[in-house]
Amino acid sequence: MSVPHAKLPGWAEYGLIPLVNLAVAFLISGLVVLIVGESPLEAAYHMINGAFGRGEYIGFTLYYTTTFIFTGLAVAVAFHCGLFNIGGEGQAYIGGIGVALACLSFDHTLPWYLVFPIAILGAAFFGALWALIPGWLLARRGSHIVITTIMFNFIAASLMNYLLNKVFKPLGSMSLETRTFDAGGQLPKLDWLMSIFGLSVGTAPFNISFLLALLAAFGVWVLIWRTRLGYEMRTMGHSSAAARYAGIKEAKIIVITMMISGGLAGMMALNPIMGEQFRMQLDFVQGAGFVGIAVALMGRSHPAGIIPAALLFGMLYQGGAEISFEMPSISRDMIVIIQGLVILFAGALEHMFRPAITRLVLGLSPKTRDVAATKGA
């Protein structure tokens, strides 16, 4: 196979190309705003202001960021192994069972710092379990992982609907949610972190699971680039034939990768359940699992890229809420469009601008021009 593209320097590969893709996605979103009959510049102003204008807004932005770091990492880990885990949504939803069980069992008796680790394990366990089945089906029976994980999203939605109806809902309650947790099931806010910068978190549910998300991002970096398992995963991602030849047990790696991915997605449930609502509600994931796909694509599946990409989507979610408040004709569905466009341009069309950028970058850099000249002569 011929290599279609020349190698670019790192700053262009990981900086310029994603930025160009993002810019195009935003330009088209701006067009949609124009069609609706509003000013894109005004929308952009409300978005930035709504996301960063006040300590409280920043708190909300970082709250969403936390969620997207988890789901982004989940998709990225699977990407490294050449698997497309589109089931983050379902895994996060099922992960909620672990959090809810931990909180409902111990919130009266234990302080939050003891319930939190149990909830983390519970969330990761249930999320991993939900990813284990598609992983196992791929490894042993050759079922296509994309299709099975999509199916598992729907099965999870039905299952959770049933469980909330029949198991978790307190007697006599009408709404589909668990009871509100006691102090033991409520994570403390990170107001001390915000006050270092002289900001007040206000009512924003910015909580300690943000630190867990950063820790998870570091953990993923160590796993993928500094451990034997990560090496095996990346080998499989590049070439499963090479992995087989090197004696890597494919089935085992697939199942383990999917479980790690599902566990990360499941841990997302901590943030809304223990950090914001203090109860498990119907449909608490709200599409965060799918945002993870956009985040992983934007962040090029590297934790150092995923964190800023998650911040970007956190900004879109919080700023988007502010836009819909200021400009009623632009509802929060605008974010869904932007998300789709980011997935389109950073994912499916990632090579569209590459030839032009390659020409531009390599043409501008004097060193490569010299090399080209000597070759030509």
The yes or no reply on residue 258 touching another protein (CB under 8 A) is no
The yes or no reply on residue 239 touching another protein (CB under 8 A) is no
CB count within 10 Å of CB 173 equals: 11
Cα→Cα distances 372→368, 376, 377, Å = 6, 6, 9
Candidates 9-17, 104-112, 142-150, 243-251; binding stretch for another protein (CB under 8 A): 142-150
Q: Collect all residues with Cβ–Cβ distance below 8 Å to 117 and sequence separation of at least 6.
A: none
The yes or no reply on residue 22 touching another protein (CB under 8 A) is no
- List the interface residues with another protein, window 153-172 (CB under 8 A): 154-155, 158-159, 161-162, 165-166
- List the interface residues with another protein, window 183-212 (CB under 8 A): none
Give CA–CA dist 250/290, Å, rounded.
27
The yes or no reply on residue 35 touching another protein (CB under 8 A) is yes
- Interface map 73-112 toward another protein (x if CB under 8 A): -----------x-x--------------------------
Closer residue to another protein, CB minimum distance, 148 or 318 = 148
State which amino acid sits at residue 265: A
Give CA–CA dist 90/285, Å, rounded.
9
**Which of residues 16, 229, 340, 368 is near another protein by CB under 8 A?**
340
Stated length of the chain: 377
Classify 98 as helix, strand or coil.
Answer: helix
The yes or no reply on residue 329 touching another protein (CB under 8 A) is yes
The yes or no reply on residue 40 touching another protein (CB under 8 A) is no
CA atoms within 13 A on the CB side of 290: 12
Give CA–CA dist 243/201, Å, rounded.
48
The yes or no reply on residue 37 touching another protein (CB under 8 A) is yes
Are 282 and 64 a contacting pair, CB within 8 Å?
Answer: no
Closer residue to another protein, CB minimum distance, 311 or 344 = 344
Give CA–CA dist 70/190, Å, rounded.
18
Residue ranges that bind another protein, judged by CB under 8 A:
1-2, 4, 32, 35-37, 84, 86, 137, 141-144, 146-148, 150-152, 154-155, 158-159, 161-162, 165-166, 290, 293, 297, 329-331, 333-341, 343-344, 347-352
